[in-house]
Amino acid sequence: MVLAYATTIHKSQGSEYPAIAIPLTTQHYPMLQRNLVYTGVTRGKRLVVLVGQRKALAIAVKGARARRRWSKLREWLIGCDRPTAECGSVGSGREVG
Protein backbone atom coordinates (compact mmCIF):
# COMPACT_ATOMS: atom_id res chain seq x y z
CA MET A 1 0.00 0.00 0.00
CA VAL A 2 1.32 3.43 -0.98
CA LEU A 3 0.10 6.81 0.20
CA ALA A 4 -1.49 8.80 -2.63
CA TYR A 5 -3.36 12.04 -3.09
CA ALA A 6 -6.04 13.17 -5.51
CA THR A 7 -6.19 16.61 -7.05
CA THR A 8 -7.74 18.25 -10.08
CA ILE A 9 -5.93 19.02 -13.30
CA HIS A 10 -6.63 22.70 -12.70
CA LYS A 11 -4.95 22.63 -9.29
CA SER A 12 -2.01 20.61 -10.62
CA GLN A 13 -0.97 23.23 -13.19
CA GLY A 14 2.63 24.22 -12.63
CA SER A 15 3.41 21.08 -10.64
CA GLU A 16 4.94 17.70 -11.47
CA TYR A 17 4.34 14.33 -9.87
CA PRO A 18 6.30 11.06 -10.16
CA ALA A 19 3.23 9.13 -11.33
CA ILE A 20 -0.34 10.09 -12.17
CA ALA A 21 -3.55 8.38 -13.20
CA ILE A 22 -6.15 10.26 -15.26
CA PRO A 23 -9.71 8.90 -15.38
CA LEU A 24 -11.49 9.48 -18.71
CA THR A 25 -15.15 8.58 -19.00
CA THR A 26 -17.97 9.81 -21.23
CA GLN A 27 -20.14 10.43 -18.16
CA HIS A 28 -18.19 13.64 -17.57
CA TYR A 29 -18.51 14.88 -21.14
CA PRO A 30 -17.93 18.61 -20.42
CA MET A 31 -14.50 17.79 -18.98
CA LEU A 32 -13.35 15.96 -22.12
CA GLN A 33 -11.18 18.73 -23.49
CA ARG A 34 -7.86 18.41 -25.28
CA ASN A 35 -6.18 21.10 -23.18
CA LEU A 36 -7.15 19.36 -19.93
CA VAL A 37 -5.82 15.98 -21.12
CA TYR A 38 -2.60 17.64 -22.29
CA THR A 39 -2.13 19.43 -18.97
CA GLY A 40 -2.82 16.22 -17.05
CA VAL A 41 -0.42 14.13 -19.13
CA THR A 42 2.38 16.67 -18.84
CA ARG A 43 2.17 16.61 -15.01
CA GLY A 44 3.64 13.09 -14.81
CA LYS A 45 7.44 12.83 -14.56
CA ARG A 46 7.90 9.06 -14.88
CA LEU A 47 4.50 7.41 -15.30
CA VAL A 48 1.13 8.48 -16.71
CA VAL A 49 -1.79 6.06 -16.74
CA LEU A 50 -5.02 6.85 -18.58
CA VAL A 51 -7.91 4.86 -17.10
CA GLY A 52 -11.32 4.69 -18.73
CA GLN A 53 -12.89 4.54 -22.14
CA ARG A 54 -11.08 4.87 -25.46
CA LYS A 55 -14.10 6.77 -26.77
CA ALA A 56 -13.68 9.38 -24.03
CA LEU A 57 -10.03 9.89 -24.97
CA ALA A 58 -10.98 10.20 -28.65
CA ILE A 59 -13.61 12.83 -27.84
CA ALA A 60 -11.11 14.81 -25.78
CA VAL A 61 -8.34 14.65 -28.37
CA LYS A 62 -10.62 15.58 -31.29
CA GLY A 63 -12.39 18.29 -29.35
CA ALA A 64 -10.82 21.59 -30.31
CA ARG A 65 -13.99 23.39 -29.32
CA ALA A 66 -13.55 26.71 -27.65
CA ARG A 67 -16.01 27.41 -24.89
CA ARG A 68 -17.41 30.89 -24.58
CA ARG A 69 -16.82 32.36 -21.15
CA TRP A 70 -19.63 34.31 -19.53
CA SER A 71 -17.49 36.28 -17.09
CA LYS A 72 -18.97 39.80 -17.59
CA LEU A 73 -15.35 40.98 -17.73
CA ARG A 74 -16.13 43.63 -20.35
CA GLU A 75 -18.85 45.18 -18.18
CA TRP A 76 -16.65 45.15 -15.08
CA LEU A 77 -13.77 46.80 -16.94
CA ILE A 78 -15.91 49.67 -18.18
CA GLY A 79 -17.74 50.06 -14.88
CA CYS A 80 -21.14 48.63 -15.77
CA ASP A 81 -22.96 46.06 -13.71
CA ARG A 82 -25.14 44.80 -16.59
CA PRO A 83 -25.07 45.00 -20.40
CA THR A 84 -26.97 48.07 -21.62
CA ALA A 85 -26.94 50.34 -24.65
CA GLU A 86 -24.57 52.74 -22.82
CA CYS A 87 -22.20 49.99 -21.70
CA GLY A 88 -22.30 47.90 -24.83
CA SER A 89 -23.63 44.39 -24.87
CA VAL A 90 -21.39 41.35 -24.82
CA GLY A 91 -20.48 40.39 -28.36
CA SER A 92 -21.38 43.81 -29.79
CA GLY A 93 -17.92 44.21 -31.27
CA ARG A 94 -17.29 47.48 -29.38
CA GLU A 95 -13.82 47.81 -28.02
CA VAL A 96 -13.19 48.64 -24.40
CA GLY A 97 -11.42 52.00 -24.33
Q: Where are the domains of the chain?
A: 9-66, 70-97
For a pLDDT cut of 70, what percent of the chain falls above it? 70
pLDDT at position 92, please? 45
Q: Is the pLDDT of residue 89 over 70?
A: no
Distances from the Cα of 28 to the Cα of 31, 40, 82, angstroms = 6, 16, 32
CATH topology for 9-66 is: Rossmann fold (3.40.50)
Under 8 Å between Cβ of 80 and 86:
yes
Express each pLDDT in 43-85 by its tens digit.
Answer: 999 999 999 999 999 999 997 666 666 777 777 778 865 555 5
- The whole-model pTM stands at 0.61
